[in-house]
Amino acid sequence: MTRNWIYDWMISCPAILVLGETRYRNYKGLVTLTLLYPRAIVMSREGSIRVINTIPEYLHRVIIEEICLDMLENERKDMVGEAFRKTMFYGGYNVFLMNNNGYLHNVVFELVNTSKIFLYIRRIIGKLVVSSLEHWILFGVGLRTGDFQLVIESCSEIGRVEDDKCYIESMNYELLVTNVNVAVEGFTRIIPDNNPARHVVKL
Protein backbone atom coordinates (compact mmCIF):
# COMPACT_ATOMS: atom_id res chain seq x y z
CA MET A 1 0.00 0.00 0.00
CA THR A 2 1.09 3.58 -0.65
CA ARG A 3 1.22 4.50 3.03
CA ASN A 4 3.92 1.85 3.53
CA TRP A 5 5.95 2.98 0.53
CA ILE A 6 9.35 4.32 1.70
CA TYR A 7 10.55 7.19 -0.48
CA ASP A 8 13.91 8.91 -1.00
CA TRP A 9 12.30 12.26 -1.78
CA MET A 10 8.83 13.70 -2.11
CA ILE A 11 7.30 16.84 -3.64
CA SER A 12 3.82 17.92 -2.54
CA CYS A 13 2.19 20.33 -5.01
CA PRO A 14 -0.98 22.32 -4.26
CA ALA A 15 -4.11 22.83 -6.29
CA ILE A 16 -4.09 26.33 -7.79
CA LEU A 17 -7.03 28.51 -8.77
CA VAL A 18 -6.93 30.87 -11.73
CA LEU A 19 -8.98 33.80 -10.45
CA GLY A 20 -8.79 35.90 -13.59
CA GLU A 21 -6.77 37.72 -16.19
CA THR A 22 -5.30 41.19 -15.94
CA ARG A 23 -4.15 43.89 -18.33
CA TYR A 24 -1.62 46.69 -17.92
CA ARG A 25 -1.01 48.78 -21.04
CA ASN A 26 0.05 46.20 -23.65
CA TYR A 27 0.90 43.51 -21.09
CA LYS A 28 -1.37 40.64 -20.12
CA GLY A 29 -1.24 38.41 -17.10
CA LEU A 30 -2.92 35.96 -14.73
CA VAL A 31 -4.06 35.95 -11.11
CA THR A 32 -3.62 32.76 -9.06
CA LEU A 33 -4.42 31.47 -5.58
CA THR A 34 -2.84 28.42 -3.93
CA LEU A 35 -4.93 25.93 -1.95
CA LEU A 36 -3.78 23.86 1.01
CA TYR A 37 -5.82 20.89 -0.22
CA PRO A 38 -6.28 18.96 -2.53
CA ARG A 39 -2.74 18.19 -3.69
CA ALA A 40 -0.60 16.18 -6.11
CA ILE A 41 2.23 14.27 -4.44
CA VAL A 42 5.23 12.89 -6.33
CA MET A 43 7.42 10.34 -4.54
CA SER A 44 10.62 8.66 -5.68
CA ARG A 45 12.47 5.57 -4.48
CA GLU A 46 15.57 4.22 -6.23
CA GLY A 47 14.54 5.90 -9.48
CA SER A 48 10.94 4.67 -9.36
CA ILE A 49 8.26 7.39 -9.36
CA ARG A 50 4.84 7.20 -7.72
CA VAL A 51 2.14 9.88 -7.97
CA ILE A 52 -0.86 10.41 -5.68
CA ASN A 53 -3.18 13.08 -7.05
CA THR A 54 -6.39 14.04 -5.22
CA ILE A 55 -7.02 17.17 -7.31
CA PRO A 56 -10.29 16.94 -9.29
CA GLU A 57 -10.29 17.50 -13.05
CA TYR A 58 -12.02 20.88 -12.86
CA LEU A 59 -9.22 22.20 -10.61
CA HIS A 60 -6.57 21.64 -13.30
CA ARG A 61 -5.60 18.14 -12.15
CA VAL A 62 -3.56 17.17 -15.23
CA ILE A 63 -1.49 20.33 -15.58
CA ILE A 64 -0.69 20.44 -11.84
CA GLU A 65 0.58 16.86 -11.97
CA GLU A 66 2.69 17.57 -15.07
CA ILE A 67 4.30 20.58 -13.41
CA CYS A 68 4.85 18.72 -10.15
CA LEU A 69 6.76 16.02 -12.02
CA ASP A 70 9.24 18.44 -13.59
CA MET A 71 8.80 21.80 -11.85
CA LEU A 72 12.53 22.12 -11.16
CA GLU A 73 13.58 21.31 -14.71
CA ASN A 74 11.77 23.30 -17.37
CA GLU A 75 9.96 26.57 -17.86
CA ARG A 76 6.52 26.20 -19.41
CA LYS A 77 5.82 27.83 -22.76
CA ASP A 78 2.12 28.40 -22.03
CA MET A 79 1.19 31.28 -19.73
CA VAL A 80 -1.15 29.27 -17.50
CA GLY A 81 1.36 26.47 -17.00
CA GLU A 82 4.22 28.86 -16.24
CA ALA A 83 2.02 30.85 -13.84
CA PHE A 84 1.19 27.60 -12.03
CA ARG A 85 4.85 26.57 -11.90
CA LYS A 86 5.93 29.90 -10.43
CA THR A 87 2.98 30.02 -8.03
CA MET A 88 4.26 26.76 -6.52
CA PHE A 89 7.47 28.55 -5.52
CA TYR A 90 5.55 31.31 -3.74
CA GLY A 91 2.21 30.05 -2.41
CA GLY A 92 -0.53 32.49 -1.46
CA TYR A 93 -2.06 35.03 -3.86
CA ASN A 94 -0.11 36.02 -6.98
CA VAL A 95 -0.47 38.37 -9.93
CA PHE A 96 1.76 37.76 -12.96
CA LEU A 97 2.46 39.89 -16.05
CA MET A 98 4.10 38.62 -19.22
CA ASN A 99 6.69 40.86 -20.88
CA ASN A 100 7.23 41.30 -24.61
CA ASN A 101 9.76 38.44 -24.63
CA GLY A 102 7.26 35.99 -23.17
CA TYR A 103 8.78 35.99 -19.67
CA LEU A 104 6.26 35.87 -16.82
CA HIS A 105 7.03 38.25 -13.93
CA ASN A 106 5.49 38.02 -10.47
CA VAL A 107 4.33 41.58 -9.71
CA VAL A 108 2.16 40.85 -6.66
CA PHE A 109 2.65 38.24 -3.94
CA GLU A 110 0.39 38.31 -0.89
CA LEU A 111 -0.21 35.96 2.03
CA VAL A 112 -3.90 35.46 2.80
CA ASN A 113 -5.07 36.37 6.30
CA THR A 114 -6.87 33.12 7.11
CA SER A 115 -8.09 34.38 10.48
CA LYS A 116 -10.11 37.19 8.87
CA ILE A 117 -10.76 35.99 5.31
CA PHE A 118 -12.82 32.88 4.51
CA LEU A 119 -12.97 31.26 1.09
CA TYR A 120 -15.45 28.88 -0.52
CA ILE A 121 -15.75 27.33 -3.95
CA ARG A 122 -18.36 25.67 -6.13
CA ARG A 123 -18.13 24.09 -9.53
CA ILE A 124 -19.78 25.98 -12.40
CA ILE A 125 -19.37 26.46 -16.13
CA GLY A 126 -18.15 30.03 -16.18
CA LYS A 127 -15.72 32.38 -17.85
CA LEU A 128 -12.46 34.00 -16.83
CA VAL A 129 -12.69 37.56 -15.51
CA VAL A 130 -10.52 40.19 -17.21
CA SER A 131 -9.86 43.26 -15.08
CA SER A 132 -7.24 45.98 -14.64
CA LEU A 133 -4.13 45.45 -12.56
CA GLU A 134 -5.14 48.00 -9.90
CA HIS A 135 -8.27 46.05 -8.98
CA TRP A 136 -6.34 42.80 -8.50
CA ILE A 137 -3.70 44.62 -6.42
CA LEU A 138 -6.38 46.10 -4.17
CA PHE A 139 -8.01 42.68 -3.83
CA GLY A 140 -4.69 41.14 -2.79
CA VAL A 141 -4.11 43.83 -0.16
CA GLY A 142 -7.55 43.09 1.25
CA LEU A 143 -6.75 39.38 1.44
CA ARG A 144 -3.46 40.05 3.22
CA THR A 145 -4.67 42.64 5.72
CA GLY A 146 -8.14 41.25 6.30
CA ASP A 147 -9.56 44.68 5.40
CA PHE A 148 -12.81 43.40 3.94
CA GLN A 149 -13.84 46.82 2.65
CA LEU A 150 -10.91 46.64 0.22
CA VAL A 151 -12.06 43.17 -0.84
CA ILE A 152 -15.60 44.42 -1.47
CA GLU A 153 -14.50 47.54 -3.36
CA SER A 154 -12.24 45.58 -5.69
CA CYS A 155 -14.75 42.74 -6.01
CA SER A 156 -17.28 45.11 -7.55
CA GLU A 157 -14.85 45.37 -10.49
CA ILE A 158 -13.47 41.82 -10.72
CA GLY A 159 -16.64 39.96 -9.73
CA ARG A 160 -19.89 40.82 -8.04
CA VAL A 161 -21.00 41.74 -4.54
CA GLU A 162 -24.15 40.31 -2.96
CA ASP A 163 -25.13 40.59 0.72
CA ASP A 164 -21.62 41.76 1.67
CA LYS A 165 -20.09 38.71 0.02
CA CYS A 166 -17.63 38.69 -2.89
CA TYR A 167 -18.21 36.29 -5.80
CA ILE A 168 -15.56 35.80 -8.50
CA GLU A 169 -16.40 33.62 -11.48
CA SER A 170 -13.67 31.66 -13.24
CA MET A 171 -13.55 29.02 -15.97
CA ASN A 172 -14.73 25.98 -14.02
CA TYR A 173 -15.58 27.34 -10.60
CA GLU A 174 -16.80 30.29 -8.61
CA LEU A 175 -14.93 31.67 -5.60
CA LEU A 176 -16.83 33.12 -2.63
CA VAL A 177 -14.97 35.42 -0.23
CA THR A 178 -16.41 36.47 3.14
CA ASN A 179 -15.18 37.94 6.42
CA VAL A 180 -17.14 35.44 8.51
CA ASN A 181 -17.18 31.66 8.55
CA VAL A 182 -20.59 30.82 7.10
CA ALA A 183 -22.35 27.88 5.48
CA VAL A 184 -23.45 28.73 1.93
CA GLU A 185 -25.47 26.17 -0.01
CA GLY A 186 -23.54 24.65 -2.88
CA PHE A 187 -20.16 26.00 -1.74
CA THR A 188 -17.31 24.09 -0.09
CA ARG A 189 -14.86 25.71 2.31
CA ILE A 190 -11.28 25.92 1.02
CA ILE A 191 -8.10 26.99 2.81
CA PRO A 192 -5.40 29.06 1.08
CA ASP A 193 -1.84 27.75 1.26
CA ASN A 194 0.60 30.54 2.11
CA ASN A 195 3.61 28.25 1.64
CA PRO A 196 5.40 27.03 -1.48
CA ALA A 197 5.32 23.43 -2.66
CA ARG A 198 6.91 21.04 -0.14
CA HIS A 199 10.08 19.16 -1.04
CA VAL A 200 11.07 16.46 1.46
CA VAL A 201 14.34 14.53 1.25
CA LYS A 202 15.15 11.45 3.37
CA LEU A 203 18.44 11.87 5.22
Q: List pLDDT tens digits, range 85-140.
A: 999 999 999 999 999 988 999 999 999 999 999 999 999 998 999 999 999 999 99
DSSP character at residue 46? T
Q: Enumerate the domain spans of the chain.
A: 7-201
Return the bridge partners of 52, or none: 41
N-to-C CA span, the chain:
23
- Contact by Cβ (8 Å): 139, 175: no
Q: List pLDDT tens digits, range 12-30.
A: 999 999 999 999 999 999 9
DSSP character at residue 202? -
Q: What is the value of pTM for the model shown?
A: 0.91
